Amino acid sequence: MHQLTLAEIARGLADKKFSSEELTKVLLARIAQLDPQLNSFISLTEDLALTQAKAADARRANGESGALLGAPIAHKDLFCTQGIRTSCGSKMLDNFKAPYDATVVAKLAAAGAVTLGKTNMDEFAMGSANESSYYGAVKNPWNLEHVPGGSSGGSAAAVAARLLPAATGTDTGGSIRQPAALTNLTGLKPTYGRVSRWGMIAYASSLDQGGPLARTAEDCAILLQGMAGFDPNDSTSIDEPVPDYSASLNGSLQGLRIGVPKEYFSAGLDPRIAELIHNSVKELEKLGAVVKEISLPNMQHAIPAYYVIAPAEASSNLSRFDGVRFGYRCENPVNLIDLYKRSRGEGFGPEVQRRIMVGAYALSAGYYDAYYLKAQRIRRLIKNDFMAAFNEVDIILGPTTPNPAWKLGAKNSDPVAAYLEDVYTITANLAGLPGLSMPAGFVDGLPVGVQLLAPYFQEGRLLNVAHQYQLNTDWHTRTPTGF
Ligand code: GLN
């Protein structure tokens, strides 16, 4: 039963082959048995899951239907869940029980999804390896000595190991697409403003966006349908109708114009990944797509710009964790300054402290123009590059990551080496564009992802291209040994 996709679960529940309660019990037992190897969950919510599963079964018995009604999922532990610990992977929030549900959590619960638990993540979503969590590193089910990617690494590892069919994630600079690539999943970062950020603990507010992680594009369509939509509680949410994503999965790729940026194939890219990307292009050509080389000339500036803007916003967002209002407070402070210093010094891990310092520096009076303002200008140039490219092509294709999953600890002493792994993903966040990663093959037994980018609000196009590709390839069906 644990091998079923969300789409298969919906059919099985509708045909009364099994109940949501039965399925939930099977998956909870599987998590108890296998997750100790992976560490993909921070909290399990067994009681809530069984209550929700029984309620979903009762709704079905009363004639209700819906693709998510009774479907087991999990939430990255930065989505607020009422009365349940919402830690953001940090000691700072280890004791924090959210007083309300995030909009995404509430919408999915209303659609009948069953929450099995809260998944592990890099502390405050800062990272690409899921090693900065206060709750310990997550392991990649494809090789337990390797990282699963981050920061949504717990969601990715759990879905890849078939502990559950799908989970939510968030993506500020790649944290849905990169772990999807490193664990052989399909993951979608929606257009900025498509999914409400209300109740999502902020890392970098102008870049953060929630989205689905699942094995197939078909399942991402189902989960995104439950997450997307206008929310008056989020001032950056966009009041744009949500299309039927599952209905968008049957479009022909005949004549689809695919742009492949020449800058993507530079020295930093593992040549074995480059070959797999070229193979995926050939596969899409067989389905009728037309391929064209394009250029994104400002891409080389993306990492420095992102690593100014994201820490700048983080330094502001994280100032609320002061030992007074939320979360961790140090023992026996001698005065107010001591309370601030030690609560933040003890509550935040080293990567979070590094980013707060970089961000505060970039925003300080003497350096604002030199760093923050310049980074914002680069951000606009990157967006302009994309706008020009999308005048010529319908979709942009390339690698999701320059390398496959690295060994646990391999980049711990060199944060910049980890930042460079984000080179292909962060531009979509800087421009606010939707992006998807899907399985495209293996290197040394480790999964490789291909990334697709589309114009604003064309999530349906991304899902359709990925679905057509998945109807003609079987990379996404491969299962890690032992799971
Ligand atoms: N790796 C990037 C960072 O550390 C992106 C993280 C994310 O998308 N949350 O900032």
> For 397-447, how does the pLDDT look when each residue is reduced to its tens digit (9 = 90+)?
999 999 999 999 999 888 888 899 999 999 999 999 999 999 999 999 999
Give the tokens for residue 389. 């490219």
Provide mean pLDDT across the span 187-208: 98
Q: Return the ligand 1 atom nearest residue 175 CA.
A: 8
Ligand 1 atom 10: residue of nearest CA: 126
The answer to whether residue 10 scores a pLDDT higher than 80 is yes
- Which of 426, 427, 429, 437 to probe ligand 1 with, by most ligand atoms within 8 A of CB? 426
Provide mean pLDDT across the span 174-196: 98
User: What is the pLDDT, as a whole number, of residue 476?
Assistant: 98
Q: Is 247 helix (H, G, I), strand (E, B) or coil?
A: helix
Please give the distance, rounded to the nearest whole angstrom, from the Cα atom of residue 82 to the centre of ligand 1.
26
Ligand 1 near 151 CB (within 6 A): yes
Beta-bridge partners for 399: 450
User: What is the pLDDT, as a whole number, of residue 417?
Assistant: 87
User: What is the pLDDT, as a whole number, of residue 20?
Assistant: 98
Q: How far is CA 344 from CA 120, 322, 361, in A?
A: 21, 6, 17
**Nearest-10 crossing angle of helices 217-227, 103-110:** 110
Q: Give the count of beta carbons closer than 10 Å to the beta carbon of residue 462.
A: 29
The answer to whether residue 267 scores a pLDDT higher than 80 is no
pLDDT, one tens digit per residue, over 46-68 is 999 999 999 999 999 999 999 99
Provide mean pLDDT across the span 348-373: 94
Mean pLDDT estimate for the chain = 97
Please give the distance, rounded to the nearest whole angstrom, from the Cα atom of residue 419 to the centre of ligand 1.
8
186-189/166-170 β-pairing: unpaired
User: Which single residue is written with the structure tokens 């369509």?
Assistant: 221
Please give the distance, rounded to the nearest whole angstrom, from the Cα atom of residue 39 to the centre of ligand 1.
20
- Which of 172, 197, 308, 416 to probe ligand 1 with, by most ligand atoms within 8 A of CB? 172
The answer to whether residue 279 scores a pLDDT higher than 90 is yes
Ligand 1 near 351 CB (within 6 A): no
User: What is the pLDDT, as a whole number, of residue 242?
Assistant: 98
Indicate the burial class of 277 (C-beta count within 10 angstroms; 0-12, 13-18, 19 or more). Answer: buried
Give ∠ CA 285-191-255 in degrees, rounded to 5: 20
Q: Which residue type is seen at 153?
A: G
Terminal Cα-to-Cα distance of the chain (whole angstroms): 13
Ligand 1 near 128 CB (within 6 A): yes
pLDDT, one tens digit per residue, over 67-81 is 999 999 999 999 999
- Which of 403, 422, 423, 424 to probe ligand 1 with, by most ligand atoms within 8 A of CB? 422
Please give the distance, rounded to the nearest whole angstrom, from the Cα atom of residue 266 to the centre of ligand 1.
22
Specify whether the CB–CB gap between 11 and 71 falls below 8 A.
no
Q: Give percent of the chain with pLDDT exceeding 70.
A: 100
User: What is the pLDDT, as a whole number, of residue 312?
Assistant: 97
The CB-side HSE value for 367 (13 A sphere, CA atoms) comes to 11
Catalytic annotation, residues? 76, 151, 175
Ligand 1 near 200 CB (within 6 A): no
Q: How far apart are CA 329 and CA 70, in angstroms?
A: 39
The answer to whether residue 311 scores a pLDDT higher than 90 is yes
Ligand 1 near 174 CB (within 6 A): yes
User: What is the pLDDT, as a whole number, of residue 205?
Assistant: 97
pLDDT, one tens digit per residue, over 324-356 is 988 899 999 999 999 999 999 999 999 999 999
Strands across the sheet containing 72-76: 41-44, 114-119, 72-76, 166-170, 210-214, 186-189, 435-443, 446-453, 395-399, 257-261, 290-294
Please give the distance, rounded to the nearest whole angstrom, from the Cα atom of residue 65 to the centre of ligand 1.
37
Specify whether the CB–CB gap between 475 and 439 falls below 8 A.
yes
User: What is the pLDDT, as a whole number, of residue 178?
Assistant: 98
Q: Which helix (H) or strand (E) is 415 found in, with range?
A: helix 415-420
Ligand 1 near 127 CB (within 6 A): yes
Ligand 1 atom 4: residue of nearest CA: 127
